[in-house]
Structure 1
């Protein structure tokens, strides 16, 4: 029997329900996929609470997974039963089996196992667009990374270092500082205890950083802006502390003719060509060992509510996978 973690209303982790579901057979252009590992991301929390609406109920959550093709519909020439694949940014991953459009899937090389794939697709392709599109880094740049010990943070810091970038990472504890340093951060700041912008100025000789990558949102907005050099770029790509509202755009002029972007991965993989380019780049740096995917914790899919609770309480480090 196929099971799914679904919500029947918005709310806390308690609204996540372990339901029996009927998947059916693939239509034209679809495949039936048996999941082997599922990624957990903060976007899942936003969707569970209704910050990002998910449409009609009941709705399975989850935005990335890896698995094995079970059946193939008509018009899918390049996939066959038994193929190992992964995907990201397709709602409905919290299931043991699912139907999915074939053009959303990427074949996995033998060098990348299923758990690694499930843990890296969304966060890894996010790290890629942050570093190569939102603010394209150059060797010698100094950047500031909020939540440096998290899933995106640990991938981005390794990749940035590989590209010759100096990374300053903000973390919430000494333990997370050690983890962030092990994952590529050159400097760490305890943002709950230290003045972030002042420490950044100390580290950069008063200059400030070229870019800030900030997934925390409201709580760190001013520290991020104040850490930038003139004409620097704030990339606000998450709202873990709550959304930024009523922003005065005039602050960008006052603080040094700054730039700000609020991107989403979906824009950067919006067609098949962009998806393949992004995934190929990610798999390349992982396969060569330049970026190592650290899975900090694993949960049974049936225990997804506990995984959400731990994620929101900042109890997780690195990536988290759910196992069907």
Structure 2
């Protein structure tokens, strides 16, 4: 089979489109023909060596959708032909992947493979942020960074579903339309981290209730400044780095800061399937739209990484084997 293997740590040139042996399923595992693999910032972080430890050659990717073609010993709930999606299954940038059944969700008939692949990590992350980490309330005002990205677009929609209002921060004017289409009430175009004053103005001078910030150290102080008294900063996304040491007694306005990790939203197969099926239900009802901003042949994974790093994309990026 073909796959994308890292040949070292570094820029996109370390990604090699290579021939690999077909994997075989073991106990409680299935072999899947991959129809689409999701591209995520965590993949870029692994490629850059940001996960720590010594480098080991690896096939990238953790997310996707496809069809079961073989089952291993002990598998009873899946059979060849089942359409499935997953998140946190290693080596997903490939034509075939082996997955433990506990990582899989069956795709309902009304959801196509590409949508299923596109909604897993970013949809579940948005679900965690808006329903679990900070359960958005009616009339809450949220500031969403990277509002035209795959996560930002889904998060905006979930905030609106819960009755909240959204200020979306985007990096260029050509992304305003996507943010507005997702439901953003206001859009700030900013690349320098100087958004706080405008966010406070749009809030009527009091500050926002919650900020969802995965944009790295450049935006941290502005996100704090944009909060109302006792507001909440949801910090996420390790690829761009953390804010550095924080002197807790220097925090303004009794704000609350937390680091949100979406895997805490799906610690069991039951919760994985419950939350994913809720996303599928909203999609089927037309209440949630998943924007696929780019489809790349598997062989062009390096180009997909480069486009994502350059902030040149809107919505979710997929690799198609």
Aligned to 1:272: 269
User: 1:32·1:72 contact (CA, 8 Å) conserved in 2?
Assistant: yes
1:306 aligns with 2:303: yes
Which residue of 2 is the match for residue 31 of structure 1?
30
Residue in 1 aligned with 2:132? 133
Q: Give the structure 2 partner of residue 316 of structure 1.
A: 313
Q: In the TM superposition, what is the alpha-carbon distance from 1:194 to its structure 2 partner? A: 8.2
Match of 2:44 in 1: 45
Aligned to 2:91: 92
Per-residue deviation, 1:8: 2.7
**Alignment map for 1:1-324 (pairs within 5 Å):** 2-53=1-52, 57-192=56-191, 195-239=194-238, 241-252=240-251, 255-324=252-321
For residues 101-120 of structure 1, give each alpha carbon's deviation from its aligned partner in whole angstroms, at most 9, with x where no partner exists. Answer: 01100000011100111111
Distance 1:245 1:226, change over 3 A: same
Off by >6 Å, runs of 4+ in structure 1 = none
Structure 1 unaligned spans of 5+ = none
| In 1, Cα distance between equivalents of 2:134 and 2:91 | 30
Aligned partners of 1:146, 1:240: CA distance in 2, in Å? 15
Q: CA deviation at 1:247?
A: 2.7
Greater Cα shift, 185-194 or 57-66: 185-194
Q: Cα offset for 1:96?
A: 0.5
Distance 2:128 2:280 in 1: 14
SS of equivalent residue, structure 2 residue 204: coil
Query: Is residue 27–residue 74 contact of structure 2 (8 Å, CA) maintained in 1?
Result: yes
How big is the shift at 1:202?
Answer: 1.1
State the alpha-carbon separation in 1 of the partners of residues 52 and 285 from structure 2. 38
Using the TM superposition, give the Cα deviation of residue 26 of structure 1 relative to its aligned residue in structure 2, in angstroms: 1.1
**What is the distance in 2 between the residues matched to 1:47 and 1:306?**
16
CA deviation map 1:224-266 (0-9, x unaligned): 11111111111111145433222333332xx111111112222
Q: Is the 8 A contact 2:42 2:239 kept in 1?
A: no
CA contact (8 A) 2:193 2:219 kept: no
Deviation, 1:270, is: 1.8
Give the whole-Å Cα distance in 2 for the aligned partners of 1:196 and 1:238. Answer: 19
User: Could you tell me the TM-score, scaled by structure 1's length?
Assistant: 0.95
Q: How does the TM-score come out when normalised to structure 2?
A: 0.96
After superposition, what is the alpha-carbon deviation per residue over 1:142-177, rounded to whole angstroms, capped at 9, x for unaligned?
100000000100111112112111000001111112
Contact 1:47–1:54 (CA<8 Å) still a contact in 2?
no
SS at match of 2:114: helix
How far has the Cα of 1:277 moved from its partner?
Answer: 1.8
Alignment check: 8 A CA contact 2:297 2:319 kept? yes
Write the distance in 2 (CA, Å) between the matches of 1:251 and 1:192: 26
Summarize the Cα distance change of 1:201–1:24 in structure 2 as closer, same or farther, 3 Å threshold: closer
C-alpha displacement of 1:141:
0.6
